[in-house]
Structures are given as structure tokens and as C-alpha cells.
A and B are shown apart, each in its own frame.
Chain A
């Protein structure tokens, strides 16, 4: 394994003005992640999990401190550079799946590759391969509205990994799923992590997810309260 972390945060702070007060969503977070980690940010609501995930994903920028992702300082990136970083290197999985409703399953997964400008034959190969990973190749022509929650989240996983990103950030990926679907989705992600070497970072307070984590980082009030390795198998 490469010794250089692919993600490193130093003194990371995020402050939101709220009227006359300021909310410290992150109050100085120092963390680093290596390639192929399967780690989770856990903690109660408002502890800063999603905020940290957003900054690592270059969707947001820190108020203070530094976040270096794949050698790029997030706080110095322009909108265009941040979009480029997300496009090429980062996949997202959301609690509400965020599939594009007018597209088919195939088109949803293909979307990321379209932005990368892959040729059609290459796109087709990658999309079908991604759909096979998540066992949804037979639903390629379905619309998101025709899928169950578990299937929708698996499509979101396929969309996140189809471009072979270095990092996948998953924000409460099982919050809208039942136990069986949660395990299916998590097993899929764990397999992809193992086979593709993709780094997975979760923001969750779902015990089912925690069972799969190999590293659990507990955030409380925007600070790292604990950072401990896990078995990583349910």
C-alpha cells in the first residue's frame, strides 16, 4: 500500500453563520485516509459527518484549515477544478439515491461516463460491467420509478463506481433501505472495495453499516472523538 494518504485534513473547520451566532460544524478535524480504506464517519446528527464528507468531495470548502484530496487542496480549487476532481476521481452515493428520474437505469449509470467523454462502445462495456457488479444488468432499461429502494441504491452504487473513481463517498446510504437491502448494498460496496481498490468513506449512524467498516471515526460536535479500526465483517 502506498504510504501517502489520498485524503488528509489538517485543522479543518467549517463555520456557518446563523444570525448573530456561528455554528461550528467542524471544529478542527485532523484525519487521513489511505487508498482502499473502507471507513466510516459515525456520530449523532449535527456532529459534522456530512459536512466533512462534502468538503472531502469538493462540494464545499472549509472555513479554516486544509483538506488535501488526491494531492489537491480543496480550499484553493476553483468551481471548475472542483467539478473536474469530482468528475474524474470521486463517486457519490446519497441517502435518497438521487437518480435522475427521466433516465433509465442504463442512462443513469452512463451519465458519469458521458461527462468524461468516453466513446460509446467503451461506455457500454463499462456500464454493463457496473450493472453486473450490482446484479442489475437485467433492469438496464427500467426507469428509477420502477425500482425498489434497494435496487435504486444499487444503481447509485453502480453510477458511483462505473468511472472507477479513487474515492466513493456515501452519505447515509442505507437510511432508506430495509435490513436485507442494506446488507445487499453494503456487500456490493465491500466487494467493489476489495476488487477495485476503491476507497469508501461513509457518513452513517446505522449500526448495519458499522458492522462492515474496517475503520470507524466517531465525530462529536465537529471533532474527532475516536478513530479505531474494526473487524470489517458482519
Chain B
């Protein structure tokens, strides 16, 4: 306690020197938390967007379907298993039929995935309801994303030709009209694909009642297999595209791919990006530590006579080392307090208003909106504080090792031993 009081007195007594250090360190604190918060916010936003627009509570997939292999598509369809059809009828799941096709837009040819989805579905937050243009509409209503629109040169209201093969392998073609170009941050529901009404696609392909996968609404648990109770342990199954088999019963051969499994790819990418972003953290941390180290070295050099006096007054060398290390550490504590004073309002404001993203944000490979909202979790703040504190402790201690060899008589004369 005495040591703490003395260290605090020394620190506050040093005046401007202390406050400059504290300010630099607090700046590092705030910038580290801000940059980590941006990354965390980006990850959170990407996950939320993917869950909302693509994953839902997870997918039941046809056994032949491999999302990473378009060649599986011709065979990747089948009747929706009864439990899933029941959920779809109750509005708690959305069957999606995926068919390989070609579009002719603006005189160019593009290979696309034609995805059929029920306009009344609520599993995915895409504006599928705009596809409800009536069964007798001769033109196929199409919903596309902004990336697809840009690639194909299409705009809302444009008419183009779709060609596809039906369930028996026969080619067919028809005109389609872009009903809406949707803005979405999720590239995987946008690029290279068009959305049309499920019933229409089923009729076009002769695959009535069939689907490729079924998206469960959020909050809907995977249904138990017939004869099982909901509480029964679900069996695991190998699902194409799933690195880890999702938890959920196998229904007529359809396996469940969980939300976590979908996100595992994203999370792996996040981990890889985190290594890169850590570089920024290390730079900020290094700047702060340089300030502390410099102060400590200077302090030990300038305060040799004071060290001698402390020893003459009854301090042990360990006590002097402890005092100087504690002074370094208290810099961090003061920096955290000062950082909190101006950091909380600034970071809070950015978290509320968001951070405008550049137009080429898609190149990040993440589903990020026009504005990125940083996320500052308790773990992030506590983790940052702990890392800075530990690093400061080490950096504060390192220069003081010289004191361990210091003779009181030399120190009193202002010499280093």
C-alpha cells in the first residue's frame, strides 16, 4: 500500500511528463479498442447479415447437393421430407430449389443459379414477396442482387431471357423481368444467381413439390426424425459442404447443416484477417510501450540519487524496483481512466452512427453494409486492458533490472553500478 501511495505521488508529482505519457498511452488504448471494435463489429455484422439473408437457423440439404460443386445441381433435388414440408406450411421454413441456368441479358450470356423461393417465406430476409406477381403472369418475375445487376447490366424492369433444363434434361427458355434489384451485403445470395417464385421454377422444371434445400426460420429447431421425440438426441450426418456434421436428424436422407457450420468458413476467414489486423494493434501497443520504456529508462537515469536516498531511508533494492515498476504500471491505470473519459463518448458515438465504408468494400470478402458499426464487447475491453497492463508491467520492469545491481553508495553519488 505504501509503495502504491509513493508511486502515485511520484507519478502525479512529475506533472507534465506524466500526463504526456498518460495521454499517449490512453490514445493507444482508445485506438486499439477502436480498431479491434471495428473488426469485431465487422464480424458481427457479417454473421448477422449471413444468418438473416442466407442461413436462417440452418439448412436441410438434399443428399446430392454440394454447394461448392455446381455439377451436383442436376441431381440435387427431391421431394421435401414431410416434417420439413410441415414446417414450411406453418411458415417456419422455406424450401429452395436450385437449378443451373443461363441468362441472355444485354446481348451477353451468363451462367447462373436459378433459385426458387416461396414469396411468402419468412426464413430469409430477402424481399421475396415482390415475386408474388400472380401465376398467370407470362413473364417470370425475377429478383436479383446489386452485384448480379451490375455484372449482367440489368436494372429493375429490364426483360431478359432465361434458359434452363427441366427435370428430364430438356432445354426450355422464357422471358423474365427484373422486378427488383435488392441491396444486400451478402454476396453469396447475390452474385451469379437469380431468384424466382418456387412454384414457378418447380413448374418450369417439372419438379413439383421438390427442393434442393430447406432453410429453417430462426428459432426453429431441426425437427426430429419420424418416430423420434424432439428431446431425443439427434443423429449426426455427413452433409456435403459441411466440414463438421451438423446436429440434427437425417430426414429421408436430407442432412442438417447447422448455423455454426455455415459460419465456420466465415469465422476461419475472420481468424485469418485477425492476424493481419493484430499488426495494427501491435503498432499502437509498441508506440505506447516505447513511451513507457523511454520514460522508465530516463527515469532510472535521472533519479539515481533519489534511488540512493530511498535506500538510505530504508528501501530495499526490491522495493525500489517495485516502486519504479509500479510507477510504470500506474501510467497504464491513469491512461485507462483518461482514455475512458474521452474514449467512451467518442467510441459510443461511432458505435451509434457507424463508420462509412468505401464503395469497394466487397473486396474485403465480408458482408459489410455501407456503414460499419463497431462492437465493443466487455471481453474486448477487458482483454485489451489486460494485454496493455501485462505488456506495460514487462516494459516497466525491464529497465529496472539495472537497479538490482545498484550499490546505495554509487546511487547517492548519482552513479550507476
Q: Which residues of A contact B (CB under 8 A)?
A: 54, 57, 59-60, 79-80, 83-84, 86-88, 92, 94, 96, 98, 100-103, 107, 111-112, 114-117, 159
Across-interface contacts of B10 in A (CB, < 8 A): 102
B308 located at the interface, meaning its Cβ lies under 8 Å from any Cβ of chain A in the complex: yes
How many of B's residues come within 8 Å of A, CB to CB? 25
Give me 7 other A-B pairs in contact (C-beta within 8 A), A60-B407, A103-B13, A107-B9 excluded: A54-B409, A79-B316, A84-B314, A87-B313, A103-B9, A111-B6, A159-B313
Residue in contact with B316 in the complex, picked from A83, A96, A116, CB distance below 8 Å = A83
* A–B complex contacts, Cβ < 8 Å, 25 sampled: A54-B408, A59-B312, A59-B408, A59-B412, A60-B409, A79-B317, A83-B311, A83-B314, A84-B314, A86-B311, A87-B313, A92-B313, A94-B412, A98-B306, A98-B312, A101-B13, A102-B9, A102-B10, A103-B9, A103-B13, A107-B9, A114-B2, A114-B6, A116-B314, A159-B313
Overall SS of chain A's interface: helix
**Which of B5, B14, B315 gathers the greatest number of chain A CB atoms within 10 Å?**
B315
Across-interface contacts of A114 in B (CB, < 8 A): 2, 5-6
Across-interface contacts of A107 in B (CB, < 8 A): 9
- Taking a contact as CB atoms under 8 Å apart, the answer to whether B6 and A92 are in contact is no
Across-interface contacts of A111 in B (CB, < 8 A): 6, 313
Bound complex: CA of A96 vs CA of B412, how far in Å? 10
B305 located at the interface, meaning its Cβ lies under 8 Å from any Cβ of chain A in the complex: yes
- Taking a contact as CB atoms under 8 Å apart, the answer to whether A59 and B409 are in contact is yes
**Which of B6, B309, B312, B318 gathers the greatest number of chain A CB atoms within 10 Å?**
B312
**Which of B12, B306, B313 gathers the greatest number of chain A CB atoms within 10 Å?**
B313
CB distance from B308 to the nearest CB of A (A): 7
CB distance from B362 to the nearest CB of A (A): 56
Across-interface contacts of B316 in A (CB, < 8 A): 79-80, 83
A87: nearest residue on chain B (CB-CB)? B314
A169: nearest residue on chain B (CB-CB)? B312
- Taking a contact as CB atoms under 8 Å apart, the answer to whether A102 and B13 are in contact is yes
Bound complex: CA of A8 vs CA of B129, how far in Å? 102
Bound complex: CA of A206 vs CA of B370, how far in Å? 81
Closest 8 CB pairs of A and B: A87-B314, A102-B13, A98-B309, A59-B408, A83-B316, A92-B312, A86-B314, A115-B314
